[in-house]
Chains A and B, each alone.
Chain A
Amino acid sequence: MREPLLEIDNLSVTFRRRRSVTRAVDGVSYSVAPGEIVGVVGESGSGKSVTVLALMGLLPDRGVEVTGQVRYNGRDLLSLGDSEMAKLRGREIAMVFQDPISSLNPVVPIGVQVSEVLLAHTKTTRKAAMAESVDLLRRCGIPDPDRRLKEYPHQLSGGMRQRALIAMALACKPKLLICDEPTTALDVTIQAQVLELLKELVTDSGTAMIMITHDLGVVAGLCDQVNVMYSGRIVEAAPRGELFAHPRHRYTHGLLASIPRLDLPRGDPLHPIPGTPRDTVAWAKACAFAPRCMHATDDCVRPDLPLQPLPDSPPDHPVRCVHPAEA
């Protein structure tokens, strides 16, 4: 195993409003090594984004409490000052969000935006940076980059904007790339291009990558290691082959049984998970999935069920479940 570049250790995030207290992330730990793609899956509101926003220092200052540790290259990110963090963000850690329009400057041409990133990170001339931008945009699958360079974000299609954003992320040659649903808004044919590009980046430059998605298919094709989140906690983690071949947590298992598969014979009915992610209980009381779980018993009503290896699964496949599915 390579040394991890980033280690998230027992990270918790609590939002405090006048009346409500939301524990959005509740003791999450995972790590990423150079050249590795770590997937985080889970449904809306499970805490995938808040986890990475917290470690990037991008959550609002007020009404938010972040605890735990995040080690990046030996430094504790959570204790870095704003300016140090900002430096790191531009230089070594890049992020690609789902919604590219909000991450691009609407009044600056794409080419200038990409070359500014280059200028900020390498000793180069404006002209050379422009030339490199063209090359980057081309590599990111933007046709006719010489012309596109002069266009503003609103002149590009959604897929094109997303690729421009990835070009910007690549321009700083990040050591760590965090992708939060980078292809969710794109058509699958464009998604395939973008994922191919990201895969290439990891293989060629040894970038460490976190891939947040709700699409189990994307995870299956791309990620080395997979973390499944539910209601603020990781409920199951394993290398992708192991996870898809032997899902053990009842939520993961149920999820895989509920989605139709393109490559399997049609006609088998789907087996939905009852209820919605809103039907949850606090982990401090019981398994948060219990209200929707067909295998729940009184044993599941215990505070803070541990995420632990099972006797009949490999040690790198911990599960947070009292009655796991058969291996």
Chain B
Amino acid sequence: MVEPVETPPVASEPDRDDLLVVENLQVHFPIKRGLVFDRTVGHVKAVDGVSLRVRRGSTYGLVGESGCGKSTFGRAVLRLEEPTGGTVMLDGESVTGLKGEALRQARRRMQMVFQDPLASLDPRQSVQSLMIEPLRVHQPAPNDQLVARAAEMLELVGMPRAALAKYPHEFSGGQRQRIGIARAMILNPELVIADEPVSALDVSVQAQVINLLEKLQREFGLTYIVIAHDLAVVRHISDVVGVMYLGQMVEEAGSDDLYAQPLHPYTIALMSAIPIPDPEVEDRRERILLRGDLPSPANPPSGCRFHTRCPYRQPTRCDTDEPHLREIEGHPGRRVSCHWAEQIASGEVQPMDSLVVEAVAAD
């Protein structure tokens, strides 16, 4: 494999406003074969050199196809997964080499909210014991104080104190997610990584949880990374959105800019594919279809990883040179990993006709 010549430039020098700075993060899972001895025959490059910065008090949204490495990235930032390369800095201090008590302290400052609130909560534990468990570990105190704190947190997420005596299965999905959020917030974290926080919820309940996350952010100055496949949700809640493809970041932009003018071909196709609940808009839209499926992250395509499916693929460079995330002139705050980003932005490079579908009014 050819090593990247340059590390992808990050927007600017790190400054004190950045709570989280991730440089070139890698998580490669070994693929083992063999009956007696496990031989490593290759690696799943789940996260393969991702760099990003999250400003204090802001929300960074992470999107991309299933299997592109979003969850693994989130878990690696929290050291729930051991990175195989790169660095993670929280508030100017490296988390990467931490062990023992220091790692425990860093973990208190970073919490995760999961997709399936039931699965992440032990069904045999009462809400009270689930809520005070993290406090016991990190901030031991007399029991009545812990319980009081748990009740206070529940109230904050709109649940009655009486919920403490109940069990997870007694609540609806939305209520369980509130409890999951209350539990993640109880240690006063600075960074919260929410992995698909609303995708298991009924549509009519999602907005309640989104509003709750926003309220908590305002009240406590929290910094968020929100991972979700629903781009409308991500755009609503995020200041900056990063788009991942096959273990790498392919585009990063302010969340309004990203929809207004996506520049990476994958982002363009993704944006065009998202259905909008308005027939008038749908009837005017043009869809750019992708061919095939996500290639295996164990054996990513040569050159640009997207070239096997890219509707804008060019005869040169695409299948031979690996593009790197770079800034694009005239598009401040944006990074794109495509050789042809400028030409695509100007319209000089166009998608293949056969992959463009004009909307036809159904009636």
How big is the B interface, by class?
Answer: 35 or more
Interface-lining segment among B41-49, B124-132, B200-208, B323-331: B200-208
Task: Write the B215-237 contact mask toward A (1 if CB under 8 angstroms, else 0).
Answer: 00000000000000101110111
Cross-interface CB contact of B289 among A192, A219, A244, A273, cutoff 8 Å: A192
Task: Verify if A314 is at the interface (C-beta below 8 Å from B).
Answer: no
Closest to A156 in B: B293
B273 touches A188 (CB 8 A): yes
Residues of A within 8 A of B (CB-CB), count:
58
Bound complex: CA A262 to CA B272 (Å): 11
Closest CB in chain B relative to A266 CB, distance in Å: 6
B206 touches A43 (CB 8 A): no
Which residues of the partner chain A approach B172 to less than 8 Å between Cβ atoms? 276, 278
Interface-lining segment among B50-58, B114-122, B277-285: B277-285
Which residues of the partner chain A approach B273 to less than 8 Å between Cβ atoms? 188-189, 191-192
Closest CB in chain A relative to B360 CB, distance in Å: 8
B274 touches A262 (CB 8 A): yes
B203 touches A255 (CB 8 A): yes
Which residues of the partner chain A approach B293 to less than 8 Å between Cβ atoms? 143, 157, 159-160, 190
Bound complex: CA A214 to CA B45 (Å): 34
Task: Write the B273-305 contact mask toward A (1 if CB under 8 angstroms, else 0).
Answer: 111111111100101011111100000000000
Bound complex: CA A273 to CA B174 (Å): 12
B-facing residues in A197-229 (Cβ within 8 Å): 199, 203, 214-224
Which residues of the partner chain B approach A263 to less than 8 Å between Cβ atoms? 259, 276, 278, 281
Closest to A268 in B: B236
Pair count A-B, CB < 8 A: 160
Task: Verify if B342 is at the interface (C-beta below 8 Å from A).
Answer: no
Which residues of the partner chain A approach B175 to less than 8 Å between Cβ atoms? 276
Task: Write the A180-198 contact mask toward B (1 if CB under 8 angstroms, else 0).
Answer: 0000000111111101100
Task: Verify if A285 is at the interface (C-beta below 8 Å from B).
Answer: no
Interface of B with A (CB < 8 Å)?
65-66, 172-175, 202-208, 210-211, 214, 229, 231-233, 235-237, 255-256, 259, 269-282, 285, 287, 289-294, 357, 359-360, 362-363
Other contacts beyond A193-B290, A217-B282: 18, CB < 8 A: A43-B203, A43-B204, A188-B270, A188-B274, A191-B273, A217-B277, A240-B363, A244-B277, A244-B279, A260-B237, A263-B278, A272-B211, A273-B204, A273-B208, A276-B172, A276-B202, A276-B204, A292-B204
